[in-house]
Amino acid sequence: MFDEHDEALIWVRAVCLAYPEASERISHGRPNFFVRRSFCFFGGSERIDGSWVAHDHAVLVKPDPNDAPAYREDPRYFVPAYLGPKGWIGVELDAVDPDEAAELIDASYRVTAPARLVRSLDEG
């Protein structure tokens, strides 16, 4: 489901693994970045009119709940299968610039990571 040498994955991996105590595992055939809970998936899918649509160069993240409605209204973002009902969003990496993608990953880490790790980001 993914190419280990994909430049987009290499970039996402570097961003995600720079966070305190972040690790990577393969979950459902895709790279998943987590501390205790997942904060970013590389690639995913959505269901449109009964058909699966793959997003192989996307990130799936959990935004700050206050920001989620705006993302859901932005046509660049999609509601990923399975995770969407839990507040997650997805975006193809070529639809946003790297800074925006990194901000999405940062917000997701802050929403899902233990408070002590978020504090360490703010203090460091």
Average pLDDT (12-35) is 97
pLDDT tens track for 61-103: 999 999 999 999 999 999 999 999 999 999 999 999 999 999 9
Residue 1: pLDDT above 80? Answer: no
Q: What is the DSSP string of 47-77?
A: EETTEEEEEEEEEEE---TTTHHHHHHSTTE
Q: Which residues contact 103 (CB under 8 A, 6 or more apart)?
A: none
Task: Tell me the two tokens of residue 24.
Answer: 């990577």
Beta bridge partners of 1: none
Spatial distance between the Cα atoms of 100 and 25, rounded to a whole number of angstroms:
24
Residue 117: pLDDT above 90? Answer: yes
Residue bearing tokens 């895709």: 30
Helical H runs in the chain? 7-17, 68-73, 98-112, 115-123
The whole-model pTM stands at 0.95
Residue 124: pLDDT above 80? Answer: no
- Would strands 77-78 and 51-61 be described as parallel, antiparallel, or unpaired? unpaired
pLDDT tens track for 26-39: 998 999 999 999 99
Res 33: pLDDT: 98
